Structure 1
Amino acid sequence: MSKVYITKASTNLILHSLKKHLNVKQKRNDLLEELSEHFSFELMDLTLNDMELEHLYNEKNILKSLEELLNKIKNNNRIVKDYIEEQNRKYAYNIKEPAYHTTIVCEWLNKDFQNIVIPEVIQNNELILEEFKIFIQDNEHLNFNELNSQYQSKFKTKDNLKKIKYKNSGNLSVDNIKAFSEVKEYFENLPLDGTIQNYRYAPLFKIEKLLKDKKKVDTSEEYKEIEKLYNTKKKFMNIIFNTHKEKYNQDLSFSQDLLDEIGFKKCKGCSLQTSTVSSYYYNLVS
């Protein structure tokens, strides 16, 4: 079985695709024990909610043995396809089948994921959803601020569009030792009372929404504290992912047959990239 490479975003796609099929029945303490090989049980208990622990546990197992997880799921060839269909109700530009790469020098392996989130009120209306997607395609030549203004005018709303950009590289630029020290110090010194405690175990997406809603009207110390909590939790989860990646699957490489089975396709750019690199080395030594 030949090994091929995927991006961090594709790893997350697999994780989210599997999520509803992987019924994690372990209790909180069991999940903490499973994840405490490299990190303090107590610190994770202070920091992460049950949903985040399940996410990290599944993420670890994907990196460790994707094949073992897939063997537990019937009709696993539909998993990725079903998830993509679901996601395409959320994004203006359709997500296509994820690709695997036969070479780590392929430029597409490190391309960022960028898209525009479809407002929830539009996601649930089939007619407006199609109209919105056509509108985005017809106006993609505009810069984002102009596009946003046109959107507000056409759809008669004061809400803003949301543009997302995620780093796609499997290599997270994190100094684990320094970052972990900062996370540990922050949570060990977090007050056990006060407003910030209301957000300690809140899901990250809820904190993110809260920060976005408050951003234009709130510059208080409380806002800054919530923002710091959000950033520190994200940093900690990145450290844990990075550590598991280094131990179990440093290159984010998987069996090509396995990825074919669940709906991945071969990157068309890899063969071109390989021939370019081969030509470069040939010219270098000739």
Structure 2
Amino acid sequence: MAYLTKSNSLKIISRIDLKNKDSLSGEIYGKSIYFFSNYEKNNLLGLKELLKDPENFIKEYYVPVEATDNLKYVYEGGKPSYHSKPDCELLNSSYKNFEIPEQLREKGKDEVIKFRNWFKGNQYLLDDPDAFVARLKIAFGIIINPKTIDFENSDVEVKENLNLNELENKINLLISNVDQYYNNANEEQKEIIRRYQRLTFLANPKYEIKDNNTRFKDEVIKEFLKQYDVHFKKPITNLLIEYYRVKHNPNLKFEGHLLEQLGFRPCRSCHQENIGIGVNKPVIEINTDDLPF
């Protein structure tokens, strides 16, 4: 038996074959949730299917995808790990990664690789921000706040240990809050909600709002969608993900051979302990995945 982190279970969903989206049947929740796009619904349905029946998920929806390096993070492009022990220290640790400064990404791949190598040798200096900044300036001629590159993937986790009934109560309350927010909104806000509530990805600066024939400027719509996403859609998404886990696969247990089909590799720390090597010297391993969503 093998185990996944929550963030890595989400990573699998990015590999759903959306050509088969029509075969993803069912509802994402017992109550109607009307503000998700079809893409968002399919991701949630795919995750539910993965947790309920991994073999059928692989057969019907999964498309092998080569790990890609988007040159955005220090640790990127490698295969994610699965764990053979539910108490593995790495299984229960926070996902942590570091963004490449934009000034360096603009210079191309060679500069990104140079920074990655430098960072791995100087990462310990993050505990001494002044020393980190000074050494970074010497090496690359830039000055940045170290916190701006420190990224911890916590927004996909529900920190409380909730049972199904408690999760349902929280989800139902948020759905009710969304309805109440709309009812109390002014006409301008209602207009944006009606037209764009399923398109909150447009809040991302890289996307253009096309055919905007509303009375509002693009930047006004983007800021509203950002807040709508943060306060409503993301919290409900995270609770639904936790709901599926608790209901269908509380410990995120899978057969190891299935996870290898999904592009995972055995955790080095678990593997070494299983073969009796390095028991007293666990390997420090950092997840190299991108964000799950």
Give the TM-score, by structure 2 length: 0.67
Distance 1:159 1:53, change over 3 A: farther
Structure 1 CA distance for aligned equivalents of residues 255 and 39 of structure 2:
28
Matched, 1:91 2:89: no
Contact 2:74/2:98 (<8 A) preserved: yes
Matched residues, number: 246
Matched, 1:118 2:100: yes
Contact 2:96/2:153 (<8 A) preserved: yes
**Match of 1:241, as an amino acid?**
I
1:265 Cα deviation from its structure 2 partner: 2.4
Matched, 1:35 2:31: no
Matched, 1:269 2:263: no
1:183-262 matches, cutoff 5 A: 183-189=174-180, 190=182, 191=185, 193-195=187-189, 197=192, 200-203=197-200, 206=203, 227=227, 229-262=229-262
Contact 2:98/2:149 (<8 A) preserved: yes
Specify the alignment match of 2:218 in structure 1: none
Distance 1:6 1:120, change over 3 A: same
Distance 1:205 1:8, change over 3 A: farther
Which sections of structure 1, spanning at least 5 residues, go unmatched? 211-221, 276-286
Specify the alignment match of 1:182 in structure 2: 173
Matched, 1:60 2:42: no
Structure 2 CA distance for aligned equivalents of residues 224 and 265 of structure 1:
41
Q: Percent identity?
A: 18
Structure 2 CA distance for aligned equivalents of residues 149 and 39 of structure 1:
55
SS of 1:105 mapped into structure 2: coil
Judging by fraction of residues, say which structure has more helix: 1
Specify the alignment match of 1:135 in structure 2: 118
- Work out which of the residue numbers 47, 59, 82 in structure 2 matches 1:71: 59
Specify the alignment match of 1:217 in structure 2: none
SS of 1:40 mapped into structure 2: coil
Distance 1:4 1:138, change over 3 A: closer
Structure 1 CA distance for aligned equivalents of residues 205 and 235 of structure 2:
14
1:92 Cα deviation from its structure 2 partner: 0.9
1:53 Cα deviation from its structure 2 partner: 1.3
1:206 Cα deviation from its structure 2 partner: 3.5
1:179 Cα deviation from its structure 2 partner: 1.9
1:66 Cα deviation from its structure 2 partner: 2.5
Which sections of structure 2, spanning at least 5 residues, go unmatched? 208-221, 277-293
Structure 1 CA distance for aligned equivalents of residues 232 and 155 of structure 2:
21
Contact 1:8/1:168 (<8 A) preserved: no
Structure 2 CA distance for aligned equivalents of residues 205 and 151 of structure 1:
34
Structure 2 CA distance for aligned equivalents of residues 170 and 223 of structure 1:
24
